[in-house]
């Protein structure tokens, strides 16, 4: 008894979701659940560059991309593209798929 809010927070974190937001309006309590951990606040804490933030939005719509597409989209070298994408993989934002460099593409981790 009296553990409902604690259980909600624990369950969200167990499923890799952000903690719910609790707001007291004076007449009621509003609980907001987010389906993605990739909120603006979370991305700010990760210290991503502008390209990396933009690619997350791009991938939410387009689902996957290669490092060559990333380089072309932002007008950067392929080495810079690979470095940006590798950093996002290391931070757990993207996953790399494919068996070789020629078939590799990147997609968002489960969000």
Domain ranges of the chain: 1-35, 40-108
Higher-pLDDT residue of 9 and 75 is: 75
Q: Is residue 49 pLDDT above 90, yes or no?
A: no
Helical segments of the chain, H only: 4-14, 40-45, 50-62, 67-74, 78-90
Q: Which CATH architecture has domain 40-108?
A: Orthogonal Bundle (1.10)
pTM as predicted: 0.64
């Amino acid at each position: 008894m009296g553990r409902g809010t604690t259980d909600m927070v624990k369950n969200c974190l167990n499923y890799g979701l952000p903690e719910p937001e609790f707001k007291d309006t004076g007449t009621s309590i509003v609980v907001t659940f987010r389906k993605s951990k990739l909120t603006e606040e979370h991305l700010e804490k990760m210290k991503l560059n502008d390209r990396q933030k933009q690619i997350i939005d791009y991938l939410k719509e387009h689902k996957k991309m290669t490092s060559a597409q990333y380089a072309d989209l932002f007008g950067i070298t392929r080495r810079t593209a690979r470095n940006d994408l590798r950093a996002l993989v290391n931070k757990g934002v993207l996953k790399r798929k494919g068996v070789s460099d020629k078939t590799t593409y990147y997609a968002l981790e489960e969000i």
